[in-house]
Structure 1
Amino acid sequence: MDKRAEIIDRLISESGLSKKAFAEKIGIPPTTLRSMLSRGVGNASVDNVIKVCKGLGITTDQLEDLASSGNNDVETIAAHHDGEDWTEEELEEIRRFKEFVKSKRKNNQG
C-alpha cells in the first residue's frame, strides 16, 4: 500500500464508516475503492481520487502534502468540522488561516 493509500485508509477508518459505506457515500463502487487502496492511488482515475478526497474533506494537494511530509499524525480540516459542508475554496481558506496561525505561534516562540 502506498503512502497516499495508507492515509486514505486511515482517514476512512477515523470517519467511523466502513470502506463499503464510505464508497457508497461518495458514489464509487466498493471494489473501486478497494482496488485504489491495494494497487495504489496513482493507478486510480483522477475522478475517483477527487471523489475520495472530497469525501474525506481534503484536497488532492493536502493528500500529497500529507504523503510527502512523512508526518504520521494525520490531521485534516474536515475532522474539525464534522457535519458541515465546505466548498474547496472555503477549505483552502481555512487551511491558509491555519498555516498563518501556526506561523504566528512559531514567530512568538523564537
Structure 2
Amino acid sequence: MLFDRVKELSEQRGENLKVVAQKLGFSENAFYKWKTQSPKSETLEKVADYFNVSVDYLLGRTDEKRFYDSTEKNDVQTIAAHHDGEEWTDEELQEIQRFKEFVRMKRKK
C-alpha cells in the first residue's frame, strides 16, 4: 500500500520515484525497499510533507489526503486571519494546521 501510494503521488506530479527520492535526499531505490521494509517515521513525515498529504494517507489508514477537512480549514483560516500581512497561501494554511495538530498531540501526552 505505502509503495503504491508514493508511486501514484509521484506520477500525479509527473515525476518518477528516482527523481522524488533524490529530491528528498534518499537513495535512488529507497522507495522500492519499502516493498519489504518499513521506513522510519521521520522519513514518512518527509515524504508526506513533500506530497502535502498525511502520513495516515501514505500508510493507507485513510483515503483523505489532507490533514484537515473543510471545517478545520475554516478554523485555520480564522486563526490565520489575525495576521496583519498578506493573504495566506494554501501551503501556509496547511503548515498552521500541522502545527495545530502538533500542539494538540503534545497536550495529550
Q: TM-score range by the shorter chain?
A: 0.5 to 0.7
Q: Is the Cα–Cα contact under 8 Å of residues 24 and 46 in structure 2 kept in the other structure?
A: yes
CA distance in 2, matches of 1:45, 1:68: 17
Identity of aligned residues (%): 17
Structure 1 partner of 2:95: 89
Deviation at 1:90, TM superposition (A): 3.5
When Rg is computed on C-alpha atoms for both structures, the one with the higher figure is 2
Out of 36, 39, 43, the residue aligned to residue 39 of structure 1 is 36
TM-score, scaled to structure 1: 0.53
Q: State the Cα RMSD in Å.
A: 2.8
| CA deviations over 1:73-99 (Å, ceiling 9, x no partner) | xx745xxxxxx7825533559xxxxxx
Could you list the runs of 5+ residues in structure 1 that have no partner in the other structure? 78-83, 94-110
Structure 1 partner of 2:4: 6
Q: Is the Cα–Cα contact under 8 Å of residues 54 and 65 in structure 2 kept in the other structure?
A: no
TM-score, scaled to structure 2: 0.53
Higher RCO (Cα < 8 Å, 6 or more apart): 1
Out of 6, 13, 16, the residue aligned to residue 15 of structure 1 is 13
As a proportion of its length, which structure holds more helix? 1
State the aligned residue count.
Answer: 76
Could you list the runs of 5+ residues in structure 2 that have no partner in the other structure? 67-88, 100-109
